[in-house]
Structure 1
Amino acid sequence: MSKRRGTTAAILGALLVLSFSAVAHAADKDGDGVGDANDNCPGTPNPGQVDTDKDGKGNACDGDDDGDGVGDNNDNCPGTSNAAQNDTDKDGKGDACDGDDDNDKVADASDNCPKVTNAGQADTDQDGKGDACDVDDDNDGIADESDNCRTMSNAGQEDMDGDLVGDACEDDDDGDGVLDATDNCANLPNPEQEDVDADGKGDACDNDDADADGVQDGADNCPLVANPEQWDSEEDGLGDACDDDADGDAVEAGGGMDNCTLAANPDQEDMDADGIGDACDEDLDGDNVIDAEDNCPGKTNEDQADADADGIGDACVGGEAPHGLPPTHVTPGTLGTSSGCAYGPAGTTRGGAGALALLFTAAAFSAARRRARREG
């Protein structure tokens, strides 16, 4: 009887052990130490119970850990939701989980252009946005794509030489081939760098021309009176235009006093009394035939009559002298005519032909001199 009781007890003990073992096995099938009732992956060991997307399904058994609709096997950020799968630097790691999206070796947290490579981190306008990703690098209100000086503020977009490079960032604003740093007219083309008055300011932009005659004051012989030709008859350094006595004959031109303002004639001779002194009158006798062509330049003879065709007009082959020249008697036959008269100071012994020749020569010389002066 006692032996039977002992056997029964042994059998009951064994059954109890088996029962506990079965219960324990049923409560944690994956053996990860987390009871199946609380295990978010009861069939897959995951003692940490990580569940990124908080969907109640642990990552160990979840095909889309971050719940972004992209399966983990194809997700470039399986632990970070990024349905668009953006990967700026194409390194296989999505931007959502990449600490350096543009792969420029500058961490996104401190990169002023996290999506655009810019290792140098240039930021012209210091606005915290790098030039590489800033649409207005110089912050002048003009978008870079239209700005003729992208990295130098120039809201006015001035471009003097029209080369599409703004003056603000141009080394040669006027495009004359001379750099602004050495150009004596940086804003006006003057490749030759002319500077007549040597004041360091090129003629092209030098406004030191008070009379606006195109000659700089420093080189102008009449700085206050326009005289672009710079005529100076007496070569005294004072231009005729502002010289009261341009011919230096001590007779001032002012008020019409000098009857030859550009030819010296202190005695103011005027043979034909036409108001033009003989020194500058091309027709001394006023017969409307210029002296250079007049066969009797000292006496009026509009018809230029010359009976013997000797080149000396009839009007000056008689006893009547030209205006202002007294007749002189000489030995007959010395003139080549029968007149016996010559023109010159009383008592001279020079022949009449010689006197006339001198007169013609003087007249021609005077006319030539006046023409040369005007042409010069």
Structure 2
Amino acid sequence: MIDIKLRKKQGAFKINAEFKSGVTGVTALFGQSGAGKTSVINMIAGLDIPDSGYIRVNQNPLFDAQKHINLPPQKRKIGYVFQDGRLFPHLTVKQNLSYGMRLVSQQERYVMFDPVISLLGISHLLSRLPRKLSGGEKQRVAIGRALLTSPSLLLMDEPLSSLDHLRKKEVMPFISRLSKEFSIPIIYVSHSLDEVLNLADHIVLMDEGNVIAAGSIDAIVNRSDLFSLMGGQDCGSIISATVETDNDAYGLTHLRFPGGVIKVPRLAVSKGSTVRIRIPVRSVSISLVKPADTSIQNIFSGVIEEISLPDSTFSDIRINIGVPLFSRITRLSQEKLCLTPGKTVFAMVKSIAVTNGSND
């Protein structure tokens, strides 16, 4: 268990962070730039000192202001992957990796060289210097070096932020396997909701130095009162589904969820796999009757549960289709359709993003 309670004043900015995360899995520390995310993990790593509070990893106190405990960074058994990798430029990839191993005694070492090299797919890079690596390769080596310290906790500070889209797609599958393969809890800092949905099991939402909410991805991301902190129009419904048919006659994958079946372009995932579906609020239209002639394939009947007003122009409609489905329409459209809680409607889903699985 990771148990965090931190207070820190940085000029006029105040950090007030309190949350817990499990002994395995990925916990995303999510928020917009300037929310205080990096400040929090720097305190966890011992690179900055809180004014008060505590940091406990597996019940071991790394910092406790009341008990005057403050372990130095090298004693905390924490791996840290920075945004820019920070490889030693004069050392080869193998030497950079070996440096991580030297930071821990043989008796404490439980992460071994060969499994890390195999997982990250970097065996062909061992003799190269960092300047000969792509951005994605550098980050994979940086992850390997952090793993080889055999940490009790791995911190990752926006490790994909400096990479282009293709490099992000290259590195992301490796990150998603880390916690499972090595049973290491990960705290992953990001301001990208797509990254969080692809990688994380739990989320800690931060804003202006404060933890606003914490919990499972589905529970937090499906809260309409938090949409403004999670990307506004890019927010929406998060639905867990199972691959029922991986490639029908039309090249579509069928995803089974409690409200029925969603059809998406073919996914490179096997039948029975679990995926996470994201449906942005702006991609859901509402009709009072089921459309007969339309190109939209995913249409679901449901009952309006709640209507909220994020601003003077739009209405957020929560529809129960077996799971919560959110739609953002204009207030004018809401009034013209006489939409109120309890009314049965048809939700037309125009676009869907699938995470924990990739399009062919």
TM-score (norm 2): 0.20
Larger strand proportion of the pair: 2
Q: Which has the larger radius of gyration?
A: 1
Larger helix proportion of the pair: 2
Q: Larger relative contact order (C-alpha < 8 A, sep ≥ 6)?
A: 2
TM-score (norm 1): 0.20
